[in-house]
Structure 1
Amino acid sequence: MPFDTLSFSFLYDDIDLSSFSCVEQDLTDFLIEDARKNQDARLSVTRIVSYEEQIVGFFTLTNDCIIRKGIGDDDGEDGYPYPHYPALKIARLATHEEFEGRGIGRAMLVRTMAIAMRLSQYVGCRMITVDSKPNSEGFYLKYGFQRALLKKKRNMTPLYRDFYRPYQEAEKSMSPTLSDFDRQR
């Protein structure tokens, strides 16, 4: 499904969530029963993804950190003096069961990366983390996430992605650099 056919919006009170259903019932339940409450309490923020007026997915983001010892040697910043890296956590991500396999999950990850890049311009944020369900781990690994060097949590696998590393690599080979554009606001 082309990215430009999807619309992304914040979860508002007037959005009817009753038609959403995904394979993982606990994700459907979270969206319908808890997402608004968590958002109102400033614990997380949920975005709804729609296609032709139908909810086809959602993702929920919150702040996080990852212990420096939990990431690979090729990630992070040389000489970083703190024990944790600031991160943006994908707390929930789900696609409507009738729309699986159409690129909606990928579109939500792309949007999450864009949000992380924007966030990192205002506050420290270097990693994106997710505690993946076993049947979703392959999805995240396919898009550059890695297993954290940490113990599993409650049948979940902690994963992370240093979203800034590819940005740094691109900077080395570009003229003008991406940073030049960042400064032009």
Structure 2
Amino acid sequence: MDIEYIKDNYIFEKLNENHNLDDFECEIEDLAKFLKEDAWNQQNMNLSLTHVVICDGIVVGYVSILTDAMKLRILEDKETKDKICSKLNISENNVIPAIKIGRFAIDKRYAHNGLGKHVFRNVMLSILDISENIVGLRFITVDAYATAFGFYVEKHKFKYLKKDQKDVDSLNKIIKIDPERSFSLYKDIKSILK
């Protein structure tokens, strides 16, 4: 299937028992395993909600979302932290509501062609809509594998926690040694449209 065709024609559907997940494969095996073995059970227990990305009946990707919270004091981005503390008249020890992207993946047959960036942008816009119309939240969080660090930080302007600075400085080495090492990342919801 042509990537541009997929970008113009994919839809999101809430995961259900009728979706055929057998052919879905990722470069990171854990992501495919989650979709095939755990996503449905977690959804039934109200722990996360998974939406599959479908084009012409084929699952080309998915996103799993759940609630989260963040303590402001752990933020690397001092400007964001100070702005929120000042605007809300709170201390950096306060907990702020967030939504977590628990898993995000594109089938490896369609990866590395801009589809992931396109789909992820729509996921973020949906989260922005939720924050403006359904439930209050301020951050999007994600635990990103080292191999996906650039996708989130460079392409989507997520920030990392200040405790991870040393590991970020050694990112290329970590990718070679432990590509599934995860980094806790965040994005201020107010920065999505910037």
Specify the alignment match of 1:108 in structure 2: 119
| Partner secondary structure for residue 140 of structure 1 | helix
Count of aligned residue pairs for this structure pair: 167
Q: Does 1:55 align with 2:59?
A: yes
Identity of aligned residues (%): 28
Instruction: Calculate the TM-score normalised by the size of structure 2.
Output: 0.79
Instruction: Give distance in 2, aligned partners of 1:19 and 1:123.
Output: 35
Name the SS of the counterpart of 2:128 in structure 1: helix
Deviation at 1:6, TM superposition (A): 1.5
Q: What RMSD, in angstroms, separates the aligned Cα atoms of the two structures?
A: 1.9
- CA shift digits 1:18-64 (9 cap, x unpaired): 01011111111110011000001110010111223211111100001
Task: Identify the residue that residue 99 of structure 2 maps to in structure 1.
Answer: 88
In 2, distance between residues paired with 1:8 and 1:118? 15
Task: State the one-letter code of the partner of 2:185.
Answer: L
Match of 1:180 in 2: none
Q: Comparing 50-59 with 136-145, which one deviates more in the overlay?
A: 50-59
Residues 61 and 88 in structure 1, CA contact (< 8 A), matched pair in contact too = yes
Matched, 1:146 2:159: yes
Change beyond 3 A, Cα 1:166–1:112: closer
Contact 2:149 2:183 in 1 (8 A): yes
1:161 corresponding residue in structure 2: 187
Cross-structure match for 1:73: 78
Aligned to 2:140: 128
Question: Any conservation in 1 of the 2:52–2:61 contact (CA below 8 Å)?
Answer: yes
Structural mapping, 1:19-38, within 5 Å: 19-38=23-42
Structure 1 position 98 matched with structure 2 position 98: no
Aligned with residue 44 of structure 1, among 44, 48, 57 = 48
Distance 1:134 1:30 in 2: 18
Q: Which amino acid aligns with 2:147?
A: N
Offset from partner CA, 1:89-131 (integer Å, 9 cap, x none): 0100111011111222113322221222122132221111101
Unaligned regions of 5+ residues in structure 2, if any? Answer: 168-179
The answer to which structure has the higher helix fraction is: 2
Note the C-alpha offset of 1:146.
Answer: 1.0
